[in-house]
Amino acid sequence: MQGGLYLGANLGFEVGEQKDQFKYPPYLMRRRRRFLPYMFVLGAIVLSSIVLGLFGVTHYRYELVGNLGAPIIVWAVFILLFLDKRRIKARIKACGYMVCVECGYELTGLGNSGRCPECGTPFEEESLRKTWRRCEDSYF
Confirm if 107 and 126 have CB atoms less than 8 A apart. Answer: no
What range does the domain containing 100 cover? 26-138
What's the number of domains the chain is made of?
Answer: 1
Q: What is the pTM of this model?
A: 0.61
118 in a structural domain: yes
User: 13-34 pLDDT, tens per residue?
Assistant: 444 444 456 677 888 888 888 8
Sign of the dihedral defined by the CA atoms of residues 74, 75, 78, 84, in that order: negative
Q: Tens digits of per-residue pLDDT, 30-48?
A: 888 887 887 787 778 777 7
Residue 131 has pLDDT above 80, yes or no: yes
Q: Which residues contact 77 (CB under 8 A, 6 or more apart)?
A: 35, 38, 39, 42
pLDDT above 70 for 5: no
**Among 44-53, 77-86, 97-106, which stretch is predicted with the lowest mean pLDDT?**
44-53
User: Is residue 15, in this structure, part of any structural domain at all?
Assistant: no
The answer as to whether 31 is a domain residue is yes
List residues bridging with 99 in a β-sheet: 106
10 part of a folded domain: no
